[in-house]
Amino acid sequence: MVLGIETSCDETSVALWDGFKGRLLSNITLSQEIHKLSGGVIPERASRSHEENILPLVESVLRRVDLPLSDLCGIACTQGPGLFGSLAVGFMFAKGLSWALGLPFIPVNHLEAHVASLFLDPPYPPYPFLCLLASGGHSLLLRVEGPFRMEILGRSLDDAVGEAFDKTAKMMGLPYPGGVEIDKFSRGGDPHAYSFPSPRVDALNYSFSGLKTAFLYFLEKKIKAMPKFVEENLEDLCASIQEALLAHLLSKLEEAVEGEKIYHVGLVGGVAANHRLRELLSERPWAVYSPAPMYCTDNGAMVALAGHWKQREGILGSWEDIPFARSKIGSS
Ligand code: KG4
Ligand code: ZN
């Protein structure tokens, strides 16, 4: 029984993974609503909210499955990357709990945990597979050889794709997290109503900031001529900017698939929950794997599973470990 704790950004999430039966027993995620109106995550508020929620969440998870603390075998927790203050709340809590209970403490890399989310439910991708990790902090193309062996084939040189979703949504007056809002409004719109230039980037890398700026200039021009332009065309605008962001995301994925000749593709991270991305991928002649939408966004389940794998391989943490804010991969 491994407890998984995730507090890297604005979701406080706790889960319990049964390593013996290979299944998730419980996962509770609390999305912080306080950031909705500010249009983005305010780090200080996120840390405070984790601090308030972490203990009640752990208690709820254990109560839900009627499990005493003494049945736990390890405490896994996200070490980074993420917001340092947010990470520190979960990390210090997990460290303290493991110390008090005399249990192994298992720091988990957030990016490796997202990849592990592919193994929460079957069907599982066979190794090696390609993985697109598309979230609010990352846009990564990975060649995955094993649970903790992965090579970065491409990455975003500026904004992450989720960040581009959130920022363009904010320009249209939509609340945070904007990716979810764009996804929702796009359903009634025409994805080809407006077109935006496709970014040109070397190799398998991404760049989303040009698209974001092009969208801003486009909106400013339209609003000048027609003040209610956004309100009256919201669905078409959402569908069109979403299509442009996803086209860039998919063009590099396509190149990676052809280059690597690997036709098993995993899709993880918050943006993987996007309905249009899933629809576009289902048209490709590849085997595509993705967790249920609630396990695409940040969750404790993926941390508990990755923690179980690490414990099985004897990769444990020490009391000297501290969180890291910056991206690292293959660090386990
Ligand atoms: O993986 P995640 O929960 O946190 C990070 O590790 O960053 O991803 C959050 C990101 C946000 O930018 C959010 O807008 C985006 O994922 N997102 C979506 C959708 N659901 C979440 N973007 C597009 N469509 C969605 N359905
Ligand atoms: Zn994440």
Three-class SS string for 190-224?
CCCCCCCCCCCCCCCCECCHHHHHHHHHHHHHHHH
Q: What is the per-residue pLDDT for 331?
A: 43
Mutate which of 83, 131, 155, 271 for ligand 1? The one with the most ligand atoms within 8 Å of its CB, which is: 271
What ligand 1 atom has the least distance to the C-alpha of 166? 14
Ligand 2 centroid from CA 254, angstroms: 23
Q: Give the type of residue at 21.
A: K
> What average pLDDT values come out for the chain (332 residues) when binned by 10 residues?
96 97 96 81 94 97 94 97 97 98 97 98 98 96 96 96 97 95 98 95 96 97 96 98 98 98 98 98 96 97 98 96 82 42
Distances in whole angstroms, Cα of residue 314 to Cα of each of 245, 302, 307: 41, 18, 10
Q: What is the per-residue pLDDT for 328?
A: 67
Ligand 1 centroid from CA 119, angstroms: 19
Indicate which residue's Cα is closest to atom 11 of ligand 1: 136
Q: What is the per-residue pLDDT for 24?
A: 98
Indicate which residue's Cα is closest to atom 10 of ligand 1: 136
Q: Is 27 exposed, middle or buried (0-12, 13-18, 19+ CB in 10 A)?
A: buried
DSSP letter (8 states) at residue 156: B
Ligand 2 centroid from CA 214, angstroms: 27
Q: What is the per-residue pLDDT for 330?
A: 52
What ligand 1 atom has the least distance to the C-alpha of 163? 12
pTM for this predicted structure = 0.95
Distances in whole angstroms, Cα of residue 108 to Cα of each of 228, 293, 303: 47, 21, 7
Q: What is the per-residue pLDDT for 232?
A: 97
> Which two structure tokens, joined as six digits, stand for 67?
């499990």
Alpha-carbon dihedral sign for residues 215, 220, 221, 223: positive
Report whether residue 183 contacts ligand 1, using a CB cutoff of 6 Å: yes
Q: Which bound ligand lies closest to the C-alpha atom of 113?
A: 2
Q: What is the per-residue pLDDT for 230?
A: 97
Alpha-carbon dihedral sign for residues 327, 248, 171, 294: negative
